Amino acid sequence: MASEEPVEVVTCTAPVNIAVIKYWGKRDEELILPINSSLSVTLHQDQLKTTTTAAISRDFTEDRIWLNGREEDVGQPRLQACLREIRRLARKRRSDGHEDPLPLSLSYKVHVASVNNFPTAAGLASSAAGYACLAYTLARVYGVESDLSEVARRGSGSACRSLYGGFVEWQMGQRADGKDSVARQVAPESHWPELRVLILVVSTERKPTGSTAGMQTSVETSALLRFRAEALVPARMAEMSRCVRERDFQAFGQLTMKDSNQFHATCLDTFPPISYLSDTSRRVIRLVHCFNAHHGRTKAGAGPGRPGPGAGRAGASRSPLLWGLQLPLARVLVAYTFDAGANAVIFTLDDTVAEFVAAVRHSFPPELNGDKFLKGLPVEPVPLSDELKAALGADPTPGGIKYIIATQVGPGPQVLDDPGAHLLGPDGLPKPAA
């Protein structure tokens, strides 16, 4: 038990990010350097976040960490890599002649407590939010002000993208030491205010094949993955950046779906094959295509509500390198993407949310939790037209979707100034659950 107040206590929150151009595969396992660049959307922390408290004290005898109330092994290699890197940066800052408000702090042990307000390891990017939050919080405790991409990346590759709000690219970099493999913001969270995100939670179970093991096997066995990384992703990154900049939802939506499908194709091309999608995931894919096709027929291709400046000319992709994207785009009101898990992430504009939520309720009637089926941002219930019901076709699957989280694009990590928000008490141990 510590006898004195911890010298320094900091609590921060960090967001989940969802990749629309996927990261899958590392060229360096230890430094966590990717075989291709990726681009993601940062989700709002009002709905999905990790909260982390870090405390350092002369009284602590060892580094310790608690995740969601349970003490975990602090010797875990990725955790150690983050701690080592942040302490190295703190030492470097001191040797560069910066005043150190905590002269002995580098020799102090750290206690860390972290909680997610969403299911861990169920394909909701919990490790990205967790390691981004760890890096950001440790940096505040140790007085580190440099770029934290490398610290977060050493914990979980995609965590570096959660260091920023809005739309973020993780540049793969070329250097062997990874110094140029960094995250950069493409556009801030205020850039596309109409964009909405729906997370359709299919499963809260831990996935059978973890991302780390899965992508390593893919790199070793999938020729398709190598082709994707080298021949396709560079042009897709450029096109996705354009879609974001110009708020071109038509092209953004189609490329998001195509890239998700291609990522899961590389998983199937892995040997033995990996399948993260469930039957319900595939039903969601069908639902999105039926919904879009119905509106394509009934609205004769008119652009969606408040389209971006690029929407009017999204009829064909301009880049000849975007394999398979030269065809005119079908009308896209709703787009799906799936990470390494069965849960669907849906992108749409705010004037389509209510009708699509109604379509999900129709296709996946809630079993018992009808009042708790929709979490997050409020969505007004609307009736479905008989024509749309007919277009959706397939027999409903009761309980297929456990619940929906409605959210939007959000900011990067935040420091919580309220001492009441600390997860660790004055003794450096987790506060009892309220």
- At 298 the pLDDT is 66
The answer, yes or no, to whether residue 98 has pLDDT greater than 50, is: yes
The least confident of 115-129, 290-304, 317-331, 369-383 is 317-331
- Are 27 and 34 in contact by the 8 Å Cβ rule? The answer is yes
Domains, the chain, ranges and CATH?
8-189+416-421 (3.30.230.10), 195-408 (3.30.70.890)
* Between 304 and 355, the higher pLDDT residue: 355
Average pLDDT across the chain, whole number: 89
- pLDDT for residue 2: 45
**pLDDT tens per residue, range 184-193:** 999 999 999 9
Residue of higher predicted confidence among 119 and 88: 88
pLDDT range class, residue 353, cuts 50, 70, 90: very high
- The residue ranking higher by pLDDT, 325 or 122, is 122
- The fraction of the chain above a pLDDT of 70, given in percent, is 86
Instruction: Answer whether residue 276 shows pLDDT above 90.
Output: yes
Q: Is the pLDDT of residue 317 over 90?
A: no
Residue 327 confidence (pLDDT)? 43
Residue 301 clears pLDDT 60, i.e. is over it = no
The pLDDT score that the predictor gives to residue 212 is: 85
Stretch among 45-54, 57-66, 93-102 having the lowest mean pLDDT: 93-102
* Per-residue model confidence (pLDDT) at position 134: 97
Determine phi and psi for 39, rounding to 5 degrees. Answer: -140, 135
Is the pLDDT assigned to residue 307 strictly greater than 60? Answer: no
Q: How confident is the model at residue 204 (pLDDT cuts 50, 70, 90)?
A: low
pLDDT of residue 3: 52
Q: 3-class secondary structure for the chain? A: CCCCCCCEEEEEEEECEEEEECCCCEEECCCCEECCCEEEEEECCCCCEEEEEEEEECCCCCCEEEECCEEECCCCHHHHHHHHHHHHHHHHHHHCCCCCCCCCHHHCEEEEEEEECCCCCCCCCHHHHHHHHHHHHHHHHHCCCCCCHHHHHHHCHHHHHHHCCCEEEECCCCCCCCCCCCEEEEECCCCCCCEEEEEEECCCCCCCCCHHHHHHHHHHHCHHHHHHHHHHHHHHHHHHHHHHHCCCHHHHHHHHHHHHHHHHHHHHHCCCCCCCCCHHHHHHHHHHHHHHHHHHHHCCCCCCCCCCCCHHHCCCCCCCCCCCCCCCCCCCCEEEECCCCCCEEEEEECCCHHHHHHHHHHHCCCCCCHHHCEEECCCCCCCCCHHHHHHHCCCCCCCCCCEEEEEEECCCCEEECCHHHCCECCCCCECCCC
CB 402 within 8 A of CB 368: no
User: Which tokens go with 432?
Assistant: 């009892």
Mean predicted confidence (pLDDT) in 268-290: 96
pLDDT digits (tens, 9 = 90+) for 161-182: 999 999 999 999 999 999 999 9
**Using 50, 70 and 90 to split pLDDT, how confident is the model at 63?**
very high
pLDDT at 286: 96
The strand pairing partners of 346, in sequence order, are 198, 336
Q: Does residue 306 register a pLDDT over 70? A: no
On the question of pLDDT at 137 being above 90, the answer is yes
Is the pLDDT assigned to residue 44 strictly greater than 90? yes
Given a cut of 70, is residue 62 above it in pLDDT? Answer: yes
Question: What pLDDT digit, counting tens, does each position of 329-342 carry?
Answer: 569 999 999 999 89
pLDDT category of residue 354 using cuts at 50, 70 and 90 = very high
Residue 126 binned pLDDT confidence (cut-offs 50, 70, 90) = confident
- Identify which has the larger pLDDT, 124 or 335: 335
pLDDT digits (tens, 9 = 90+) for 380-422: 999 999 999 999 987 899 999 999 999 999 999 999 999 999 9
- Weakest-pLDDT range from 84-98, 138-152, 258-272, 349-363: 84-98
pLDDT of 423 over the 60 cut:
yes
Q: What percent of the chain stands above pLDDT 90?
A: 77
Q: In this predicted structure, what is the pLDDT of residue 255?
A: 98
